[in-house]
Amino acid sequence: MNIALGLSELCSIVGIDGVHADDRTFTGIAPLDHAGPDDIAFFFRPEFAAAARNTRAGLVITSTALAEHLPAAVLRLCHPDPEEAMARLLEYLAMSAKPQGGAIHHTASIAPSSTIAKSARIGAGTVIGEHVHIGDEVEIGAHVVIEDGVAIGERTVIESGAVIRTGTVIGKRCRIGSGAIIGSEGFGFIERNGRYRHLYHLGNVIIGDDVEVGANTCVDRGLLGATVIEDGVKIDNLVHIAHNVVIGEHTAIAAQAGIAGSTHVGKRNRIGGQAGLTGHISTCDDVTIGAQSGVSKSITQPGEYSGTPAVPLQRRLRSEAALRQLVELVPIIESLAHKFAPKPTDQLRDEQE
């Protein structure tokens, strides 16, 4: 990314006090091992110490504890939380690159009954249905479909190719990734005489403030009532949230996880990639579920869980350690079994004679 930042301006953006006499201009941001003399880099984890010792970056933002790993010639800014400094700078640059002011592309199709804030931006080929409300500074990419009765809060971003189905409510400052489908019909059928009868889903999806939904993720609408994603939830790409699920606030869900219908996930949960939760169960607050775990029963105690079926992490680790010890005993057991095995009748007769 091409930038042009002086040192004094950079200090102001990331929250470092004081103006440095050296006010060089930096024109890029790069990882430690790829940065050049005009680039800014960040160093906030000890495991990157080898890259830090060999970096050619013009400036590194780091902590006081880690600064000693940097070459003497490298200019460094010490920040109490260098990862937070990185987040501030990236946000500043991303916001600076955005076009300002509202605009509606001439190829967008918008129903006359919908309300679009003057500061909103609507991309090419987007279709907006009846009685839609779009708030201030909302950004909607190209070829988005927003069906009837949708409400989108201020400063939310809907990326290109997303589909927002009928009656969905999306809060403020959210981000819906490309190809995501919010409010798709859930997997609901009843079986009669060996055949499946479709259940029409008449509910909707309600998404709180500051929620992010990744690309190609599907959130199904409720059968009756709503599927609810509470404030601050972060959902990765390729996740499936089934009908009538509730995701508690500030929960994070990694890629390819799946949550079956009517499950209630507590607040501040962390769900690893490819984990699966069966339907009609719940997890309490502050639960971490490891990658590829299978949760088939409700979790009522905070903590880390792993495996299929998911159990407390320490219990799983003890079980695995015991299994390894058992495997090591197999040759000994086989040797003893051979030594004390009953002898054939003819062999016993020969020994007696």
pLDDT of residue 347: 59
Distance in angstroms (rounded) separating the CA atoms of residues 72 and 79? 18
3-state class of 342 per DSSP?
coil
Positions of CATH 3.40.1390.10 in the chain: 5-97
Which residues have a catalytic role annotated?
243
Q: pLDDT (tens digit, 0 to 9) for every residue of the chain, 353 residues total?
A: 678 898 889 999 999 876 565 678 999 999 999 999 999 999 999 999 999 999 999 999 999 999 999 999 999 999 999 999 999 999 999 888 887 788 999 999 999 999 999 999 999 999 999 999 999 999 999 999 999 999 999 999 999 999 999 999 999 999 999 999 999 999 999 999 999 999 999 999 999 999 999 999 999 999 999 999 999 999 999 999 999 999 999 999 999 999 999 999 999 999 999 999 999 999 999 999 999 999 999 999 999 999 989 888 777 777 777 777 777 777 888 888 877 877 666 655 655 55
**What is the total residue count of the chain?**
353
pTM for the whole thing? 0.85
The encoded tokens of residue 27 equal 């024109």
CATH 2.160.10.10 residue ranges in the chain? Answer: 162-309
CATH among 2.70.98.50, 2.40.30.170, 3.30.2320.20, 3.40.1390.10 for 5-97: 3.40.1390.10
Fold of 162-309: UDP N-Acetylglucosamine Acyltransferase; domain 1 (2.160.10)
Alpha-carbon distances of 330 from 8, 177, 235, 336, rounded to whole Å: 67, 52, 45, 10
Q: Are 122 and 108 in contact (CB under 8 A)?
A: yes
- For 170-221, give the DSSP string: E-TT-EE-TT-EEEEPP--EEEETTEEEE-----EEEE-SS-EE-TT-EEEP
* Residues 238 and 219 sit within 8 Å (Cβ to Cβ): no
